[in-house]
Chains A and B, each alone.
Chain A
Amino acid sequence: MATQGLRAEQYLSPETLAQLAPFELRAKMVADGVMNGMHQSPLQGMAVEFAAHRQYTAGDSVRHLDWKVFGRSDKLYVKEYRQETNLDVMILVDGSASMSFGTLGVKQGWGGTDATRRRGAWTKFDHATASAAALAFLCLSQRDRVGVAVGADGLRGAVRKSAARDQWRSIVRCLSSEPVEARFSPAACINQLLAQTSHRTLFVILSDFLGDPEGLRSALARLRHRGHDAMLLAMLDHRELTLDLDVEAPFVGLEGEDALDVDTRMIRKAYLEELQRHLQGIDRQARAFGYDVQVFDTHESVGPVLAALLSRREGMVAGGRR
């Protein structure tokens, strides 16, 4: 079993933890958790943090009347409170065959997923696993509930949301044991996840998003319709981002696509333009629903990119509250 002897250092380095330490994963929307936490709850008046005064209307409970104000002004005002609760986070990792692409050598002691074993390289799936592990650790440290799911043409393996102490280990174990194959269908996976989700949840989708953009748009629309938040983390290999190859050779797809004779020197410019156009399309779709998108280069470490994303998100949440 690949998960035997699993160590945290295989996917989460102390450097990454140190880089993420100053940040918090904040929900942009109102969370409806059941535990006390740091996220805004839809329920009001029950918690400790004062929010505002409101004029008493018929039907309001007299328990919340502010008698001090009544004594000073002879008017009835009701005190309102803001409740803060915990956040539900569901991490969906693309487990399709295209995620097993990688051109970076595996560092000693790192890796351990199915893709690493098959390719002998640091793949996009490995990078997604590392990013998911870091996010999960961050959420658990905030006492948020985190779950993970590995999806391809449908949900393949999942860990239910929990804030339990050994949840992080369960998440990493799940990611490192699932095979990386088939094609990714975001709509199918999101549909299955929504069927299991009752509370408002932050969905973090880690994929290369190289599939049909229409399927992604459909999945995002469903999430938005159900009032969930989402973050899209696009995992791409450095070579995919730059096409730094000078060859004329047949290119074979990892998901069963037909071979294609390509001279990279001839098409590099067009490829880079197509890639730019594709990523801009994903970014445009996500922003249309108010979701964040971040591109990850698998040859770079996870920490700085995640820190930039969280910082940007914190800024947006704080701005929204003001």
Chain B
Amino acid sequence: MTFISPWLAISGAAAMALPILIHLFLRRRQKPIEWAAMELLRRAVQQSQRARRVERWILLVLRCLVLLLIGLAIARPATVTAISMSQPVALAVVLDDSVASRTAASATAPGQTAFEAARTACIESIRALPGGSLVHVFTTSGTIEHTSEAVQPDRAVAMLGALEPTYEPSRARQAVDRADDALRRMAMPGRIILASSFSRGAIDTEAQVLPATKATLEIRDVGSDDTGTAAIASMVQRTLGPQSSGSITVDVVVTRPSHDQARRSVPVTVTDVQTDRAAVTDAVFIDGSMRAVATVTLAVDPAVTEHAWMATIPADRQPADDLRTAMISTVSADPVLILDRERLDVDEGSSAQWIERALEPIAGMGLPHRRMDPSDVRPGSLKGSTSIIICRPELLDAAGWAECTSTCESGALVVIVPPTDETFVEWQVPCAALLGAGVTIRRDHVDHDPPRRLEPQQPTSPITQLIASELTELVAPIEVNRSVVIEGPSTVLSPVLVMDDGAPMMVLSTRGRGVIAMLATAPVPSWSTLATKPIFVPLVQETIRQGEVLLDAGGSVTIGLGRLPEGTTELRPIRGSTDPGTTLIVDPSGMIVGDDAKPGIMQRVAAQGASPGSLRSASLVALNVDPAACDPQRNDPARLTAWLNQTLTTPTGNVTATSTTRSSTTASVWLLLAAAVVVLAETLLGRMFSVPEPKTT
């Protein structure tokens, strides 16, 4: 006789001490009570207490017995039947090929990924099988099905050798269930081997990975150098910008629920799961901030059209006791191209100078940028640029506008600022054509006296989503003295900022695979106070970052449990999800709304809070969401180890091929029935011994 969970049996036995301790404790703490009618008391004691004391001990024993029986029942007693080493068995191999298996294995297997180490362990187990044994091969990703029939060991080894790690989340429980189902159909004794690194994301710790009936479950823990991560966020980016120069900037946004946490810096490792190139950087929380951004630049092969990144945060360096979210987004590492001509005769500074200051407020920190004379724009000259800011549209000729349009259509962000100088060039026509059909820009600008202010309640826009909570305060001090009038259908132009008369101050539109943003006023003091107000730096940087996110060249993925009710996006799983019928709701910042986070590759199917059609549909978004990964409590290595010990029959990797364990559900049922009978007896006995309420004489 053995137990599937021997710790529970020991706990049940230990729990027996509880009633006894309570009994002794209550007995010890009573102080002497003075009493007058001692003779009556003595006679009553002589009459009844001896019998009562025996009855009480019986009650105590029954209560201890109840606890013991329940403990034994939960521990699932099992009988061990010895089988000989030469007896053939049916082996089900469950190989972890999830995205987490792409990480490096532990130091015991240097140079190997966790997948390779797990595969080696599986092959070793297969080769140790006695003759006549049969093998089923399963994977935790569930993408490769080999459940139809058992194969010979040699064939199974060949099948394992052909497997590659996937980008799918791990679904170990379903795989073990499938293996168990397969083994039930076999006449011979069954055994399941689950080989994995058991790093975060490799196994769903919520699931009870236990075969229900017949087979032994053995764990081949191949180890992992992942010493415990608080969060893993991974994303797949299917298409890079066609003009990419071969590097990409990955932003990991880490948020925490409050700003009074002690830790200021969180190390974030960003790994390209295909090339295993990793970069470590710190996400630094500025005082009073709940959000920090870690930015790394990784080199990518432009020829490869699919990339995946994984961001990890060590469990012991999580930013707060309850990490809220970690989000990955990518920005092209190409410098922002500013189309302007160098000028020295402008006292107040040109639009380009103000924008350059906003892009790089401190030297070396911010978005890299470079200048180009608009008159030099010729076909092919904008290649390699993902973000273009046109500060002097009047200097672009027809060829320049054509190059800008084609670059945008092939996937680039174009930001247009009206010219500040008087000009006779009709730049408005090609500019309006770039913005979209039906858009017009009036030839003459409008002077406002008194100056216009901005509407306190600004529309929801992806450009301003990260500063939305402070937007009312940020736009309050802005005064607009002069602006151009941009008009167009609402299906084409999406307002980003509007003035108090309803006229747009900044609009957004899409063209081909690109995104166009245009300011109605120039960021110079003679036109508006925009450039001198605190909103300007975040507005410019967010326009570049979020604009690129909207391109195919960028993407973002978030794990987390944050909730924002407005402007949500509905995502539909298209691959890798267990339940294709369900959809996922993500808020404007990419956070998952609700607790039901389904893993898989998701595609946006509907958006609320934004003008449909005004923006192109989002890129494919990959969500390798391990809900447990959002909760650092569940990812504590000690807790994981305890969970493994509790739920698995063989907690280490030693294969015990000599015996099979039959879990005895029947025995558990009988024990529970016995406990119920004891409870009934205890109740009846207690009622029999109960003393009636005293009556006043």
Show 14 A/B contacts (Cβ-Cβ < 8 Å), sorted by A.
A101-B35, A208-B37, A236-B697, A248-B27, A251-B38, A252-B34, A252-B35, A260-B42, A262-B41, A263-B52, A266-B53, A267-B41, A272-B697, A273-B44
A38 within 8 A of B: no
Q: Are B49 and A267 in contact (CB under 8 A)?
A: yes
B32 within 8 A of A: yes
B696 within 8 A of A: yes
Q: Are A267 and B36 in contact (CB under 8 A)?
A: no
B343 within 8 A of A: no
Q: Output the nearest chain B residue to A278 by Cβ-Cβ distance.
A: B40
Segment with Cβ contacts to A, from B223-231, B548-556, B687-695: B687-695
Q: Are B39 and A210 in contact (CB under 8 A)?
A: yes
* Contact pick for B40, options A237, A255, A259, A271, CB 8 Å: A271
Q: Are B27 and A257 in contact (CB under 8 A)?
A: no
Segment with Cβ contacts to B, from A69-77, A105-113, A193-201, A239-247: A239-247
Interface residues, chain A, with chain B CB atoms under 8 Å away: 98-99, 101, 124, 208, 210, 236-238, 240-245, 247-255, 257, 259-260, 262-263, 265-276, 278-279, 295, 297
Q: A144 to B26, alpha carbons, bound, how many Å?
A: 57
- Size of chain B's interface in residues, with CB distance under 8 A? 30
- Apart from the given pairs A250-B30, A269-B48, A270-B44, 20 other A-B contacts in the complex at a CB distance below 8 Å: A101-B34, A101-B35, A208-B36, A210-B37, A210-B39, A237-B36, A238-B696, A242-B697, A245-B33, A249-B32, A252-B33, A252-B35, A254-B38, A259-B32, A262-B45, A263-B53, A266-B691, A267-B41, A267-B44, A269-B691
Q: Output the nearest chain B residue to A276 by Cβ-Cβ distance.
A: B697
Given A263-B49, A269-B691, A210 and B30 contact (CB-CB distance below 8 Å): no
Q: Are A247 and B697 in contact (CB under 8 A)?
A: no
Q: Are B35 and A249 in contact (CB under 8 A)?
A: no
Q: Are B38 and A257 in contact (CB under 8 A)?
A: yes
Q: A101 to B48, alpha carbons, bound, how many Å?
A: 25
| Nearest-Cβ distance from residue B336 to partner chain A, whole angstroms | 81
Interface residues, chain B, with chain A CB atoms under 8 Å away: 26-27, 30-45, 47-49, 52-53, 56, 691-692, 694-697
Q: A4 to B47, alpha carbons, bound, how many Å?
A: 49
Q: Output the nearest chain B residue to A208 by Cβ-Cβ distance.
A: B36
* Contact pick for B32, options A251, A271, A297, CB 8 Å: A251
Q: Output the nearest chain B residue to A269 by Cβ-Cβ distance.
A: B691
Q: Are B47 and A274 in contact (CB under 8 A)?
A: yes
Q: Which residues of B contact A260 (CB under 8 A)?
A: 38, 41-42, 45
Q: A144 to B439, alpha carbons, bound, how many Å?
A: 122
Q: Are B691 and A254 in contact (CB under 8 A)?
A: no
Q: Are B694 and A249 in contact (CB under 8 A)?
A: no
Q: Are A269 and B34 in contact (CB under 8 A)?
A: no
Q: Are B40 and A269 in contact (CB under 8 A)?
A: no
Q: Which residues of A contact B30 (CB under 8 A)?
A: 247-250
Q: A255 to B27, alpha carbons, bound, how many Å?
A: 25
Q: A269 to B44, alpha carbons, bound, how many Å?
A: 8
Q: A99 to B33, alpha carbons, bound, how many Å?
A: 16
Q: Which residues of B contact A251 (CB under 8 A)?
A: 32-35, 38, 41
* Contact pick for A240, options B32, B37, B45, B53, CB 8 Å: B37
Q: Which residues of B contact A259 (CB under 8 A)?
A: 32
Q: Which residues of A contact B53 (CB under 8 A)?
A: 263, 266
Q: Considering the complex of A and B, which 8 residue pairs feature the smallest CB-CB distances, nearest first?
A: A266-B52, A249-B30, A101-B36, A271-B44, A253-B38, A270-B44, A242-B694, A270-B48
Q: Are B36 and A210 in contact (CB under 8 A)?
A: yes
Q: A252 to B41, alpha carbons, bound, how many Å?
A: 11
Q: Are B33 and A249 in contact (CB under 8 A)?
A: yes
Q: Are A250 and B32 in contact (CB under 8 A)?
A: yes
Q: Which residues of B contact A249 (CB under 8 A)?
A: 30-33
Given A270-B47, A274-B47, A242 and B36 contact (CB-CB distance below 8 Å): no
Q: A48 to B26, alpha carbons, bound, how many Å?
A: 74
* Contact pick for A266, options B39, B40, B42, B56, CB 8 Å: B56
* Contact pick for B691, options A238, A268, A274, A297, CB 8 Å: A268
Given A259-B32, A268-B691, A270-B48, A242 and B40 contact (CB-CB distance below 8 Å): no
Q: A160 to B52, alpha carbons, bound, how many Å?
A: 52
* Contact pick for A267, options B31, B32, B48, CB 8 Å: B48
Q: Are B696 and A242 in contact (CB under 8 A)?
A: yes
Q: A282 to B40, alpha carbons, bound, how many Å?
A: 14
Q: Are A267 and B694 in contact (CB under 8 A)?
A: no
| Nearest-Cβ distance from residue B38 to partner chain A, whole angstroms | 4
Q: Output the nearest chain A residue to B23 by Cβ-Cβ distance.
A: A248
